[in-house]
Amino acid sequence: MTSSLENHPEDTATPQPLCDEPEFAELLTGLVADTAPTLFAVVQEYGSRIDARVAAWGLAFEDHAEVVAVDRTLHMRLRRPENALRRFTVRPHVRTRLVWFDPAARTHPDDRTD
C-alpha cells in the first residue's frame, strides 16, 4: 500500500488488481488502523479539581497535531499535541491538560459503535 497518490503507477499503466474486493477491503482496514491519528482533548481544569471542560479536540499524527477548539474559534496545526496547552491557559486558576481519548472510559451508554 502506498501513502501518496503522486506519481502512482496507475497513472501510466493498467495493472491487474492486487486481490479480490473482500481481501482488498481487509487490506484497507489494516492501512487505516496502522496510520490512524490518535484522538486527544485539551481540558481546562478550574481551581483544584473543582470543575473542568473540554476546550478543544485534537488529532495527533506521526509528525504533527491538528487541534480545533470546541467553539470553532481556533484551528491549530502544531508540531506536538502538548504545544496546544499554553493557548488554552486563560487565567491563573485554570490549568490545562492533555487527555488521550480512551473509548473504554465512556461513562454513559449510547448508540455509537466502535
pLDDT at 98 exceeding the cut of 80: yes
**99: Cβ contacts below 8 Å, ≥ 6 apart:** 40, 41, 43
pTM of the model: 0.77
Mean pLDDT of 33-50: 96
pLDDT value at residue 77? 98
Rounded (5°) CA angle 105-55-61: 70
pLDDT value at residue 42? 99
Q: In degrees rounded to 5, what are phi and psi of residue 49? A: 60, 35
pLDDT per residue as tens digits for the range 48-68: 999 999 999 999 999 999 999
Q: Residue ranges per domain, the chain?
A: 36-105
CA–CA dist 5, 110 (Å, integer): 38
CA–CA dist 67, 77 (Å, integer): 6
Mean pLDDT of 38-48: 97
Q: Would you put residue 47 in left (φ > 0), alpha (ψ -120 to 50) or beta? A: left
Return the amino acid letter for 8.
H
pLDDT at 11 exceeding the cut of 70: no
pLDDT value at residue 14? 77
